[in-house]
Structure 1
Amino acid sequence: MNLADGHVAVVDLGYGDAGKGTVVDALCASGPVTAVIRFNGGAQAAHNVVTPAGRHHTFAQFGAGTLHGVPTHLSRFTVVDPLALAAEAAALGNPFHLLTVDGDALLATPWHRAANRARERQRGGARHGSCGMGIGQTMEYALSHPDAPRVADVRSPSRLRARLAAVRDALGPFDDAPPLEDVVDAFLAFGRVVSIVDSSHLDRLLAQGRCVFEGAQGVLLDEWRGWHPYTTWSTTTFANVAAMCDSFVRLGVVRTYTTRHGAGPFVTETPLDLPEAHNGVGEWQGAFRVGHFDAVAHRYAVEVAGGVDALAVTHLDAPPREPGLRICTSYELDGARWEHLRPGPPEDLAYQSALTTLLGRARPGDLERPDDWPARIGELLDAPVLLESHGPRSTDKRFRLPALR
């Protein structure tokens, strides 16, 4: 197995922020890539890339290979926010020629965003955690409204106006939302500068050459497999990739320490001296939390994701800087030692909610400090480590050949 051959899907095995962007950037720097294909989420993604020359960009809707000139395809599983996309494009020099968008992808609007933020405010101290971008509200609205606005609607001003007005009327009114006609004009402008395609375009990309699928958020936030209700309205496993592509390498990404933004269970959370330049307290996400590497939760993520072929281990510069950092290989829970979390039936949110309650009582059990972090992580997650990252730049990465078993 070689990450330079065939299609690769990059999935975070934690709560997000493991370094998917920097991994995708490294893959695009390592050899020819036909396209980066986004397969879930939307403008709430925050994938940080730093070039060898020091240029930094936080990718949201453009793929993390953009600075290498690699095209981005936003698949039908993404939620597209034209207003946020325009701002990101401007920061990148407006590389719309590198972007294609599936016409069946949902459109996020200012009213979805306003509804998202209003709901989180109403929850007060019981917030579920959110990026405040309206992604969940866009997905929720589409489940009950067959006429939810989609990217292809920007080709028809009358249909677009009617569908946007329906969203405004169903979710609003909001004092901080722009006038309907301003949103219509902005969305029509989006339609003039991007290439809107159908599903056959993705088939052509896959046939043309090696593609990299870039995921958003992490498996422990998955809408069906995460710790409900502290989850996303998005499928963060490999399932969407499998629906689009028959054969690909499943690359799971983990940090040497586990992190999470905002509310929800975090068994291994502990004070560690590991400041980060690109993560901090967010108005909607809440605090950026850190803790020991959680092998129990990551093993669960591997299982519910359907397994991984290989691992990318990031932040390998952290253990030398923080001597207190450990790997947690078990939990202490109700007087027992747990090394494994049993996945529940598919799409069973009652089971996931009970699991969340259970994790609220769990505490770290066995803690260890390995000499070889990648080797030990690979052993614990039963997969070869094929990429090691010691920093944010592609030049800080090392590709490894898999060990014979």
Structure 2
Amino acid sequence: MQHKAVIGAGFGDEGKGLFTDYLCRNAERPLVIRFSGGQQAGHTVVHNGIRHVFSNFGSGTLQGAPSYFARFCTIDPVGIVNELDVLLEKGVEPLLYIDAECPVTTPYDIRYNQQHHPHGSCGVGVGATINREEHFYSLTFADLFYPWVLETRLELIKEFYKEYADVVLEDFLQCCSVITGSPWVRMCRGLPQPQGGPFSDYIYEGSQGLLLDQHYGFFPYVTRSDTGTKNILSLCIGHAPEIYLITRAYQTRHGLGPLSYENLPHNIKKNPLETNVRNRFQGDFRRSLLDLSLLEYAMQRDRLIAADSDKCLVITCLDHVRDEYRFTLQGEVVYCDDEDDFVKKIAEHLRIRMVYTSVSDDSVHIIRRLL
């Protein structure tokens, strides 16, 4: 069995979904494991003419790979049902395993989040859900299967939020009922054990990047989760995962918070199909030159990543920096002759021996480079 970790190296939006899909294409019987974050992920995948943004299912779904949301992830019943309907309309029949201990986001969490988001939140209630759980007002996936338990816990959560509790629960309750009776959603405790033999690959799909980790990032502009290898290690006990660090060929940050050298001019092209656009909760989608020192910093903060001499780097969106092959290193701009020189210098500085690259149009092409 192979264990492969897809981890964002920056502030998110690096292309984790794209590479998860790629790994699933090249695996016999993969399982995609979401190990952090929750429904705030927006991972775009294109396959066989289908373009889909995954939030509540793993990004290997178009390859037929089941998804598993581990106990570290929040889930949103309304989001799951809405995305399930979209996938079925596209002719895709997904399979989603959800750990019994996954915290459930309620309309109360979302209402609070949307009215109280000073640090650039997505507005879908992930951080609010985790905060509520830490205050022992708990609602987990297993609770949805017991109507009295669900009703009682919702009443207590309503008291917890007080002035933010003016919400309608009808749609939420209907979606909970759909999920508990759905053939496409199954509850499990720990990693699922399917009929017909074990999975060939466990592919751990990260949520936000290392620089948004609640411990590594720049508080308070962080996510309420561990985006590095901490949660993975508790799931793949006894195994050392192959690590794939994902970065765009430039920096991005969606919303508030520090972004290094944003003042430097650049000619980075805007993607007309960009999933991440300005919205009323996060704000602007920002870009700047790739900061190699910041990438190195993020890698060094995670002990497993720092110690892994065989980790791979994935550089996406190379077509956005055509004639713009440069990056910053300790505050200085490093100029490169062409794409090959750009990739080579990055790999040499970070001591990466294997680099994958991609462009971001609908006909995604992955090139494997051995350096």
TM-score, with length taken from structure 2: 0.89
1:221 match: 212
Task: Using the TM superposition, give the Cα deviation of residue 247 of structure 1 relative to its aligned residue in structure 2, in angstroms.
Answer: 2.3
In 2, Cα distance between equivalents of 1:392 and 1:10? 21
What amino acid is aligned across from residue 348 of structure 2 in structure 1?
Answer: E
Residue 313 of structure 1 contacts residue 385 of structure 1 at CA under 8 Å; is this kept in 2? no
Whether 2:97 is the aligned partner of 1:100: answer yes
Alignment counterpart, residue 76 of structure 1, candidates 64, 71, 78 = 71
Q: Deviations over 1:45-91 (max 9, x none)?
A: 0001122x432111102111111111111111110001011111111
- In the TM superposition, what are the counterparts of 1:301-316 in structure 2 within 5 Å? 301-306=298-303, 307=305, 309-316=311-318
The answer for unaligned runs of 5 or more in structure 1 is 121-126, 332-364
Alignment counterpart, residue 268 of structure 1, candidates 258, 261, 265 = 261
Whether 2:351 is the aligned partner of 1:396: answer no
Alignment counterpart, residue 178 of structure 2, candidates 189, 203, 209 = 189
1:55 match: 50
Task: Using the TM superposition, give the Cα deviation of residue 316 of structure 1 relative to its aligned residue in structure 2, in angstroms.
Answer: 1.6
Residue 391 of structure 1 contacts residue 397 of structure 1 at CA under 8 Å; is this kept in 2? no
In 2, Cα distance between equivalents of 1:258 and 1:384? 22
Task: Using the TM superposition, give the Cα deviation of residue 117 of structure 1 relative to its aligned residue in structure 2, in angstroms.
Answer: 1.2
Which structure shows the higher helix fraction?
1
Whether 2:6 is the aligned partner of 1:10: answer yes
1:130 match: 121
Alignment counterpart, residue 348 of structure 2, candidates 351, 365, 379 = 379
TM-score, with length taken from structure 1: 0.82
Residue 29 of structure 1 contacts residue 394 of structure 1 at CA under 8 Å; is this kept in 2? no
Aligned-pair identity in percent equals 31
Q: Deviations over 1:3-49 (max 9, x none)?
A: xx822100000000110011111111223242111111111100011
Q: Deviations over 1:310-368 (max 9, x none)?
A: 11111121222xx345210113xxxxxxxxxxxxxxxxxxxxxxxxxxxxxxxxx3432
**Residue aligned with 1:268, SS:** coil
Query: Which 4+ runs in 1 deviate beyond 6 A?
Result: 202-206
In 1, Cα distance between equivalents of 2:93 and 2:153? 25
What amino acid is aligned across from residue 170 of structure 1 in structure 2?
Answer: F
**Residue aligned with 1:106, SS:** coil
Task: Using the TM superposition, give the Cα deviation of residue 273 of structure 1 relative to its aligned residue in structure 2, in angstroms.
Answer: 4.0
1:284 match: 281
The answer for unaligned runs of 5 or more in structure 2 is none
Q: Deviations over 1:105-159 (max 9, x none)?
A: 1101111011111112xxxxxx3111001100000111111x4000000111111
In 2, Cα distance between equivalents of 1:97 and 1:397? 25
Alignment counterpart, residue 208 of structure 1, candidates 179, 195, 199 = 199
Residue 139 of structure 1 contacts residue 233 of structure 1 at CA under 8 Å; is this kept in 2? yes
Task: Using the TM superposition, give the Cα deviation of residue 202 of structure 1 relative to its aligned residue in structure 2, in angstroms.
Answer: 6.3
In 2, Cα distance between equivalents of 1:33 and 1:395? 22
**Residue aligned with 1:50, SS:** strand
In 2, Cα distance between equivalents of 1:177 and 1:254? 39
